[in-house]
Amino acid sequence: MNALIALAVVLALAAVGSFVVWRLLRSRNMELWIGSYLRRTPPLVTDRPVHVMFCFVDHFEPMWHGADVDTQRARVDRWCKEYRELAGKHRDADGRPPQHSFFYPEEEYAPEYLDKLAELCADGYGEIEVHLHHDNDTEENFRESITRFCRILHERHGAIPRDPVSGELRFGFIHGNWCLDNSRPDGRWCGINNELILLRELGCYADFTMPSAPSDTQTKTINSIYYASDDPRAPKSHDDGTPVRVGGHASGDLMLIQGPLGLNWRKRKFGVIPSIENADVRGGQPPSPGRVDDWVRTGVHVEGRPEWVFVKIHTHGTQEADMDTLLGAPTDAMHSYLEKAYNDGKRHVLHYVSAREAYNIAKAAEAGLEGNPHDYRDYVLPAPRSSWAGSGRQGGTVADRDAA
């Protein structure tokens, strides 16, 4: 009898423990992806130097929180001044400074701000891509909005390239509020179930939204570069897909290049519960050597090419609470650590890449190409006019190049 009572107590405690764990997982929406994290296989060990493609993407929103024009202008001006100063002190193995990919919101378009960002990019510090916040949208309006914005970015600001084969404008994409393909359970902040198809048809070369944890829009597929196929009858078609692999080919509707997602055991709640490492850099989540190590160790790569590691981190660059981190000592120290720990030329080789360059290098890996990824920065899609200086081409202002 005593043994039965003891067993019942143990089972009851186990049930309570399981319930508590489940509640903790649900409170951060971790049940969506924790299974994939626990089933992950460590990256293959390679005796070749590991090339680290470091890609910083920015949900760049000058009008955030309904700011007045003076505040908006101050945000953009601070970035254009201080990022030059910060990035100008750093170089990767190829002699290039850090590349910042500014995903600018279509609904916040202001020519003045894009002109200034285009000049920053022309000086060799990044590229401009497409960001969008929308709600209860329609296919017709989505097509019109993206088409118009891409044309303006290209014709007015020298951003986003033309495909050398098809001649169409090509762009990278980040979805506002993380809600790619109508992925929020309540249907807010999108409204379109065939968004992946539409993006492909409009010229999107890859999506860079994920990871979105702890949001409930997070996919079960994590730490991957993969193709997603759209089911126009259902939302969140990018929840899983086909990995991009050496010797493979484009499949589905859209490539997704994800950033690292996992658990940070160094930062624990109550000293027990690990925090989520979601590759977000901001004032409350400053970069650190430990975080950088975790990002690299995650080993996001094209299957069959483990020695090419992609580290895509993200931020919201125009929020005042975060700008001292993004433009100051913490990010400066992050780049110094990257250049010290991951650029010795023997074990690691560091490459600062834009979103477009990350895509090109992934496509080169898919095609079976080897060697130095630097050689494939423009493999499929050329650099846009506004980043010519960053690619070692003609410099000068956008107006100078347009007149050339």
Domains of the chain in sequence order: 46-403 (3.20.110.10)
pLDDT value for 4: 58
Is pLDDT of 12 > 90?
no
Residues 316/320/322/326 CA torsion (nearest 10 deg): 80
Helix (H) or strand (E) segment spanning residue 132: strand 126-132
Residue type, 251: S
Is pLDDT of 213 > 60?
yes
Q: How far apart are the first and last CA of the chain?
A: 92
Paired sense of beta strands 273-277 and 171-175, if any:
unpaired
- For 135, residues 6+ apart whose C-beta sits below 8 A from its C-beta are 188, 189, 190, 191
Contact (Cβ atoms closer than 8 angstroms) between residue 83 and residue 327: yes
pLDDT tens per residue across span 122-165? 999 999 999 999 999 999 999 999 999 999 999 999 999 999 99
**Residue 18 dihedral angles phi and psi, to the nearest 5°:** -65, -40
Tell if the pTM clears 0.95, that is, is over it.
no
15 class by beta-carbon count within 10 Å (0-12 exposed, 13-18 middle, 19+ buried): exposed
pLDDT tens per residue across span 330-376? 999 999 999 999 999 999 999 999 999 999 999 999 999 999 999 99
Contact (Cβ atoms closer than 8 angstroms) between residue 203 and residue 171: yes
